[in-house]
Structure 1
Amino acid sequence: MATGNRKDPYRNFRFRIAIDGIQIAAFSDATIPDTSTEAVEYREGTDATHARKLSGLTKFGNVTLKRGLTDSMELYNWRKAVMQKGANQNRKSLSIILVDEEGNEKAQWDIVEAWPIKYDVSALSAKGNEVSIETIELAHEGISRVK
């Protein structure tokens, strides 16, 4: 039994995020959005027994990014710009890059025309000792795995 061809799956804890080409490595969580294509049923008048299924609209789930809250205002300012001026002038491209144990890039998802639809900071508590988390949710117009 040869082990030279074995391909182990990658671990999910080493990744980088690049937003418009700028590496932002401080995220603790990132969701790679799902994609789905709607099935549209169509029945021809001559076919009385079943409907055909045609492909309809493709939909993309949202991207969610989480990181520890710091004095960086980048994500909040992006959300603020969308609230003040709308999404059209504030869309960005981003990449989620999975890295192996040696630091090599092994998988990459490119997301286009992304803009923040939600910004959230975890609750504050004088009794707690957890890290405060900043969360941003992004709508977008497409994702493709390029690596």
Structure 2
Amino acid sequence: MAEFTVNATRFDPYKNFKFRVKWDGKYVAGISKVTSLKRTTEVVKHRHGGDPSTSRKSPGRTEFEAVTLSRGVTHDVEFERWANKVWNYGSGLGAETSLKDFRKDIIIEVYNEAGQLAQAYKVFRCWVSEFESLPELDANANAVAIQTIKLENEGWERDYSVAEPTEPSFVEP
């Protein structure tokens, strides 16, 4: 595991508005929202016959919550192409699903205010369980049309090879 050095001059936490998502080695266009990375481990309660009337606790199964990616509707078809690998309407009997490559690993990168990579997370074996191609349309609204994909996954981990950046300082004239 990598050694960590702490930037003693940074007291502010990173903001949640500078990030990028990558899959298949390319950044995905226009991602405006990513839901949180969350895991939950079940609690297994047990006791021995000779123990007092209190329970002991140990970890059980760990579940990773789905991650939802949102972006404005454009001509980019990457969300739809991936969603179609799970189920593609009209593709014919026995060919509705692309079992060979419907899963992908994705990378979520978080940047500091200066635009420097600060953290990265790898999310493993993702596949699209929900796809919203077009939101509800409203002629009286004044909003961006957003499409979403919900990605089931089998876990995530922080990329510890991403070191804390040396933040820039501007020299006053």
- TM-score, length of structure 1 as denominator length: 0.90
Aligned to 1:116: 128
CA shift at 1:79, angstroms? Answer: 0.8
Aligned to 1:129: 142
Alignment of 1:24-39 (within 5 A): 24-39=28-43
One-letter code of the match for 1:140?
N
Aligned to 2:111: 99
Q: CA RMSD in A?
A: 1.6
Alignment of 1:40-59 (within 5 A): 40-59=44-63
**Structure ID, larger Rg:** 2
> Structure 1 residues 44 and 88 mapped into 2: Cα distance closer, same or farther (>3 Å)?
farther
**Given that residues 29 and 76 in structure 2 are in contact (C-alpha distance below 8 angstroms), is that contact kept between their aligned partners in structure 1?**
no
Selected match of 1:82 from 67, 77, 86: 86
**Structure 1 outlier segments of 4+, above 6 Å:** none
- TM-score, length of structure 2 as denominator length: 0.77
What is the CA–CA distance in structure 2 between the aligned matches of 1:35 and 1:117, rounded to whole Å?
18
* Structure 2 unaligned blocks of 5 or more: 1-7, 88-95, 161-173
What is the CA–CA distance in structure 2 between the aligned matches of 1:87 and 1:101, rounded to whole Å?
40
> Structure 1 residues 94 and 43 mapped into 2: Cα distance closer, same or farther (>3 Å)?
same
Selected match of 2:23 from 19, 26, 33: 19
Question: Number of matched residues?
Answer: 144
What is the CA–CA distance in structure 2 between the aligned matches of 1:134 and 1:56, rounded to whole Å?
35
* Structure 1 unaligned blocks of 5 or more: none
> Structure 1 residues 113 and 39 mapped into 2: Cα distance closer, same or farther (>3 Å)?
same
Secondary structure, aligned partner of 2:139: coil
**Given that residues 15 and 25 in structure 1 are in contact (C-alpha distance below 8 angstroms), is that contact kept between their aligned partners in structure 2?**
no
Cα deviation, 1:87-120, whole Å, max 9, x if unaligned, reads 6631000011011122110011110000000011
